Structure formats: structure tokens, C-alpha cells
Structure 1
Amino acid sequence: MKRGDIVSIVGPNGAGKTVLLKCLLGLLPYSGEIMWEKGIKIGYVPQRLPFIKDIPLSVMDFFSLKQAAEQEVRDIVHAVGFSDEFFARKIGDLSSGQFQRMLIAWGLIGNPQVLLFDEPTTGIDIGGEETIYNLLSRLKEQRQLTMLLVTHDLSVVYQFSTHVICLNRQTVCAGPPREVLTPESLRALYGGKVKYYQHNHQ
């Protein structure tokens, strides 16, 4: 990965996508070698934290767990599109889209250079998905972020990613999406019953 890349990881369930993220974060043992630039800061946005919604926490209570400076938290929450009134909201009352934007803000605490996402739009409707990915594109430019994300949505890969890694226990293909996502590679990735349609709409 190069600085500023957006790399998507795609593949069927059980392919090892989340395991790869956890290895990159140093949370699981692995063979081989992972090399990060010295001193790099890495943030992580999980797929979801359903148990958090059952705890009577306000948004401010949740962010206080990070023990970050209050002004940094406010600046980041504003950057993902919320006002100060958002801090008083109960986490259990947030919509799926609001909750995911809150998790993105959580991942930005500490000003990481690399941000890892595990299916950032799980449980969000189509309009909400577009809002999230437009937000990520804006944050990437504003903060010079490098992003690595797991997704099942190939339209997202085409629209937002500079590179894609097709994973099914091993690397099936890797490179720029429009070069490597061919009918042949997708059949190898997902199986012979995949139908492939491509359009040129933005």
C-alpha cells in the first residue's frame, strides 16, 4: 500500500477478510511478515458494536473512554457531520448511519495515518451507504488518510478504491479494480454461478 491509497478487500464469507484485518492490527498470530512504515498510527473502525447500544451511555460518555482531549473529540465529531448537540444523545437512540459515523469518528481519535474498516456500511440502507462513502472520501482528502476496507459491494470498489484485493483463503487477484475484476477472476473468487454486469455510470 502507498500513502493515500484506498484498498478494498473482497471475497466470499469465510475467505479470511476479517482475519487479515486482525493480523494487520497485531491481534492474531500469523506466519510471514507484515511491514508498516516506522511510527505509523493505525486506526480501526469495527463492523458493528451491537452490545454498546444496550448500555445506557451518551455519545460523550462513549468518547470519554478514549481519554482524548475534549477539543480533539469535538473537532473530529464535527468533521463527520455532527454538531455539539450530538454529544448528549444516547447511543441506543442513534440510527445505523449515525452510529457508524460515530464509530468513524472514534477511529479518527489520535490522528491515525491509516484507517482500517470492517464492512463500514453493514445494516445501512443504500442512501446511508452513499453518505458514509462520500464522508470517507472527504476525510481521506482532508486528513491525507490511507484506507483499507472490507466490503461486499463491488460498486463501492469501482467507485472509491484505488486497489482491490480478491481474497478466498489466498489471493485470487489484486490490483486496480477495472484491470483485475474480470468475469474470470470473479468466477474464481465466488464460484461459477456468478453473473457479471458492467456499466459506465458514475
Structure 2
Amino acid sequence: MKRTRTMKVFRVVPKFRPPETYSESVARIVNPVLDSYTHIAIVDDDTSVPEAFFQLPEEYPDADIIVPRVLPSSRIYRTWETLTYWLRLSRVRARGCAVIYSTRFLKRMGGYPSWTEQYEDTYILRKANAVVQYKKMIAYHMEKFSIRKSIERQKRQGRARAKLHDSFWRVLAHSIVRVRPALFFAYVGQRISSPTHKVEGPDHGQ
């Protein structure tokens, strides 16, 4: 008789107030309970996922990371995502607003990182060996269209891409095709100001 593993999923809705950061908030909640659960499901309070999302570990028990396809609730954002989705900087588009992590993977990584300055999604993704993007499942990010917020997000992502040593030409192509100039200029500015910057972390240098 085939034995099945029982999955225990801990659901997290991050809530924080500055000076605490998003990463610090999640790490504070998640890291103490890694030995008590098989998976951590993080869903931001402005993101809507179907209940079946929390059952995905049963289907993919050996995955380090499981993500749905996240679409903006705004029709403007959603249309733009559809038109430009093909040129993305990662092979899997993992959005931290709806993601499931294996606790085995997080423990192997030294716990959820609290120091990543808003690029924890990409950093963690690059540490994973087995990533599943279940594109048939759609999550909706409830964000209103705002030029100011879009520019600020581009700046954060540009600085993060520089710190993660993404290719200059790939970032440039991404910025042109997706019309995200602030991302590219922030990327260049970060590289000029900190040309030898290396990503820090518990496994830095290993």
C-alpha cells in the first residue's frame, strides 16, 4: 500500500509597520514555525487566491516553490501584462504576493531571509531547485492603476536587479519592451554607486 505524506500548510498574511520591512515581518512569523509545518503559504492582503491554492502541495509535494499565475485586477495593468509577458527577467514569474514555500527548502536556505530590501522573491527563487508555476490557477492582485506607484516599483526592481547582478543587456531589453524606463535608470544608478555590491545573506560566499 502506497503511503501518502500529510501536508501541513501554514497560511501567512504579512502585516507590518515601518521601520519593520516586509521581509522582516514574514521572517518573524515564519522562521519560528518551520519545524511544525511542511509548507508556508504567503498571500498578501491585497491578493485573491482560490481555496484550491492551499491544496497545491498535495499535488506537488517535492517542489521547493509553488506559484500560480498572478494577474493584476486592473484591466490596464492586465492588458499590459498579457502583451509583454513574454519578455521577463526570470524563467518563472514568481510573485511574492501569492506563493507557497516548502519548509524543507527554507530550512536548507537558512530560513526566510529578513535582509533582502524588497527583492526577496527573486533571491529565494534563484536558490530553489524545483519550482512549479501552476498557470491554470489564477490569483488576482488588487492594485489600482497609479503612475506614481508604478515608477516607485520600477525603481525598487531596478536596484534589486543590479544587486542580483542581472545582465545589463537583458535589463535594457526588458525596460524597452515593457516600457519601464525607471527600472533601467535605477539599475544603472545602483551599478554606478555600488559597482562591487554583492548580495548578502546567511550563505553569502558559499
Q: TM-score, normalised by structure 1?
A: 0.31
Q: TM-score, normalised by structure 2?
A: 0.31
Q: Identify which of structures 1 and 2 has the higher relative contact order when contacts are C-alpha pairs closer than 8 Å and 6+ apart.
A: 1
